[in-house]
Amino acid sequence: MNAMPAPVLPAVPTPFEPYVLLRPEADAIPLVCDSPHSGTLYPDDFGYALPFERLRRGEDTDVHVLWQALPSVGATLLAANFPRSYIDPNREIEDMDADMLDGAWPGALTPSEKTRLGIGLIWRDAGKNGKDAIYARKLGVAEVRARIERYHGPYHAALREQIEAAHRDFGAVWHLNLHSMPADSYEGLQIRSDHPLADVVLGDRDGSTAAPEFTALVADAFRRRGLSVALNDPFKGVALIARLGRPAERRHSLQVELHRGLYMHEDTRERSANFDALQHTLADVSAEIAAYVRSQTPR
Tens digit of pLDDT for each residue in 239-298?
999 999 999 999 999 999 999 999 999 999 999 999 999 999 999 999 999 999 999 997
Asked if residue 5 belongs to a domain, the reply is: no
Cα–Cα dist 105/100, whole Å = 10
Q: What is the pLDDT of residue 4?
A: 77
Asked if residue 104 belongs to a domain, the reply is: no
Parent domain of 165 = 19-89+140-296
Q: What is the pLDDT of residue 98?
A: 96
Tens digit of pLDDT for each residue in 199-251?
999 999 999 999 999 999 999 999 999 999 999 999 999 999 999 999 999 99
Asked if residue 12 belongs to a domain, the reply is: no
The residue ranking higher by pLDDT, 27 or 128, is: 27
Asked if residue 7 belongs to a domain, the reply is: no
Asked if residue 179 belongs to a domain, the reply is: yes
pLDDT classification of 130: cutoffs 50, 70, 90: low
Query: In this structure, how many other beta carbons lie within 10 angstroms of the beta carbon of residue 5?
Result: 13
Q: What is the pLDDT of residue 2?
A: 67
Q: How many domains does the chain have?
A: 1
Q: What is the pLDDT of residue 128?
A: 64
Asked if residue 270 belongs to a domain, the reply is: yes
With 0-12 / 13-18 / 19 or more C-beta atoms within 10 angstroms meaning exposed / middle / buried, residue 142 is exposed
CATH number, domain containing residue 216: 3.40.630.40
Asked if residue 6 belongs to a domain, the reply is: no
Q: What predicted TM-score, i.e. pTM, was given to this entire model?
A: 0.96
Tens digit of pLDDT for each residue in 71-100?
999 999 999 999 999 999 999 999 999 999
Asked if residue 185 belongs to a domain, the reply is: yes
Q: What is the pLDDT of residue 299?
A: 66
> In the 3-class helix/strand/coil scheme, how is the chain assigned residue by residue?
CCCCCCCCCCCECCCCCCEEEECCCCCCCCEEEEECCCCCCCECCCCCCCCHHHHHHHCCCCHHHHCCCHHHHCCEEEEECCCCCCCCCCCCCCCCCHHHECCCCCCCCCCCHHHHCCCCCCCCECCHHHCCECCCCCECHHHHHHHHHHHHHHHHHHHHHHHHHHHHHHCCEEEEEEEEECCCHHHHCCCCCCCCCCCEEEECCCCCCCCHHHHHHHHHHHHCCCCCEEECCCCCCCHHHHHHCEHHHCEEEEEEEEEHHHCEECCCCEECCCHHHHHHHHHHHHHHHHHHHHHHCCC
